[in-house]
């Protein structure tokens, strides 16, 4: 007999405000311990020096992680002019220095060239794999890391403040795969300066916002008072922006057996009307919808040819309105 996985069945999302000097994996482990949850994961890595929004999925919510990862992200970050580092942030060794301190007008004049679909070279100190090895492992070992430019989408990039000649504060709204550290490197090059990320905070991931986030200290205190579950958001939270299909109890039974259900002409037409281009994990997801039994997600599936075929089934206790 296989060993039974330790922990409790806990399903939902914790919208964590990650502290600095903690890896995303450490944050997930801390939340998992608080809930004694069997299964946990996160929707998008934050660097140890970064703070802010880290959506953590527990139990059945881990099945919706790809949807959260594909959502837009918003970052606020501070650039310190005068020094570039090998890691492109405050943790690294200084590799170049300059007396250039760009004025606000000079900075704003170059920002438009970084908006839209652009080619961006990821940082050498990143989790991207090179011949099976993590780039940051190779870089830390002293090897030269050459990463190819990748297309990323930057929806908005603006200068929020320049509190001193040495510092500039930005906000960036972007798609999956964009690196703030690379953006800072490229902005610095565009204004003829040296610079690195001095502070970084993520304030939005898809439908998750920082206003709804809870700190580890707050979550720990809630747990001591037996109230940790009050911070748990529903599994369906990550699926708010995909079409929903209302299903019956009998249809839920069929979906959980992996069987398709027949769509009424009206249902098929409504789902078609709500389609939009979407990719999840590199695959076309424009025909996906979530089957809802009341307020509870029963399955994620694909609507085509008058049927709804389940691709991911949830094992959740129905919530009654």
Length of the chain: 321
Rounded Cα gap, residues 83 and 64, in angstroms: 40
Rounded Cα gap, residues 115 and 87, in angstroms: 23
Is 47 known to be catalytic? Answer: yes
For residue 264, give the nearest of 289, 249, 245 by alpha carbon.
245
For residue 78, give the nearest of 176, 184, 192, 211 by alpha carbon.
184
Alpha carbon 312 to its chain centroid, in Å, reads 20
Neighbours of 191 (CB within 10 A): 17
Rounded Cα gap, residues 76 and 52, in angstroms: 10
Torsion angle of the four alpha carbons 85, 107, 163, 52, in this order, in degrees rounded to the nearest 10: -60
Rounded Cα gap, residues 295 and 9, in angstroms: 19
Helix (H, G, I), strand (E, B) or coil at 188: helix
The one catalytic residue among 47, 89, 99, 186: 47
Rounded Cα gap, residues 275 and 227, in angstroms: 39
| Cβ partners under 8 Å of residue 163, min gap 6 | 169
Catalytic residues: 47
């Amino acid at each position: 007999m296989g060993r039974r996985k330790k922990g409790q069945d806990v399903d939902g999302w914790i919208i964590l405000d990650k502290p600095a000097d903690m890896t995303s994996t450490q944050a997930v482990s801390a939340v998992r311990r608080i809930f004694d949850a069997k299964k946990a994961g996160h929707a998008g890595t934050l660097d140890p020096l970064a703070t802010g929004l880290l959506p953590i999925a527990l139990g059945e919510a881990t099945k919706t992680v790809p949807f959260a990862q594909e959502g837009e992200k918003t970052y606020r970050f501070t650039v310190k002019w005068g020094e570039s580092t090998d890691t492109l942030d405050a943790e690294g060794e200084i590799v170049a220095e300059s007396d250039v301190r760009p004025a606000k007008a000079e900075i704003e004049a170059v920002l438009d060239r970084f908006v839209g679909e652009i080619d961006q070279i990821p940082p050498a100190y990143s989790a991207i794999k090179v011949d099976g090895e993590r780039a940051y492992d190779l870089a830390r070992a002293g090897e030269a890391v050459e990463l190819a430019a990748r297309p990323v989408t930057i929806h908005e990039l603006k200068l929020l403040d320049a509190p001193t000649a040495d510092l500039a504060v930005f906000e960036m709204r972007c798609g999956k795969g964009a690196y703030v550290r690379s953006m800072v490197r490229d902005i610095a090059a565009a204004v003829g300066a040296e610079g690195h990320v001095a502070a970084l905070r993520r304030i939005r991931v898809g439908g998750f916002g920082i206003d709804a986030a809870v700190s580890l200290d707050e979550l720990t205190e809630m747990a001591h008072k037996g109230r940790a579950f009050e911070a748990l958001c529903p599994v369906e939270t990550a699926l708010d922006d995909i079409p929903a299909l209302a299903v019956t109890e009998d249809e839920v039974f069929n979906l959980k057996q992996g069987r398709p259900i027949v769509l009424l002409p009206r249902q098929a037409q409504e789902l078609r009307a709500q389609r939009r281009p979407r990719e999840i994990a590199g695959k076309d997801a424009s025909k996906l919808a979530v089957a809802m039994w009341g307020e509870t997600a029963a399955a994620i599936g694909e609507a085509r040819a008058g049927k709804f075929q389940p691709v991911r089934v949830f094992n959740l206790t129905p919530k009654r309105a």
